[in-house]
Amino acid sequence: MSVVVDDELWSAIGDPIRRTMIDLLLADGPGTATSLSRRLPVTRQAVSKHLAVLDRVGLIHAEPAGRERHYQVDEAQLARAVAQLSAVGSTWDARLRRIKRIAEAIERTRTNDEGD
């Protein structure tokens, strides 16, 4: 019945800061906790925790470079996440359409049976 989604993956992209982080990594290429925190309204440590969450679900992965850690989006995993978004969306969309269709059918029946 209900749409099957990976809750871990979904809740990873459920956070607005994490969504923006993914946006930034996609738009500007690989980045570090420090570079991301400069473009976000939270501290580096908060960003670091978010990076850990995204890393844990595999949406991004880190590449140590000297004293820095460059994070970058895992394209395949993000594609999976996108697929889940559209899956939930289209399921709800389909249900909305079905409900509307049924409602219209009932309305038609009522109008025919009882006149106006």
Interface contacts to a copy of itself, rule CB under 8 A: 1-3, 5, 7, 10-11, 14-16, 19-20, 22-24, 26-27, 75, 78-79, 81-82, 85-86, 88-89, 91-93, 95-96, 99-100
Please enumerate in sequence order all residues whose Cβ is within 8 A of that of 55, keeping only pairs 6 or more positions apart, or say none.
61, 62, 71
How far is residue 35's CA from residue 44's CA, in Å, rounded to a whole number? 9
Please enumerate in sequence order all residues whose Cβ is within 8 A of that of 69, keeping only pairs 6 or more positions apart, or say none.
32, 33, 62, 63
Binding mask 4-43 for DNA (x = CB under 7 A): -------x---x-x--------------xxxx-----xxx
Residues in contact with DNA by CB under 7 A are: 11, 15, 17, 32-35, 41-46, 48-50, 53, 66-69
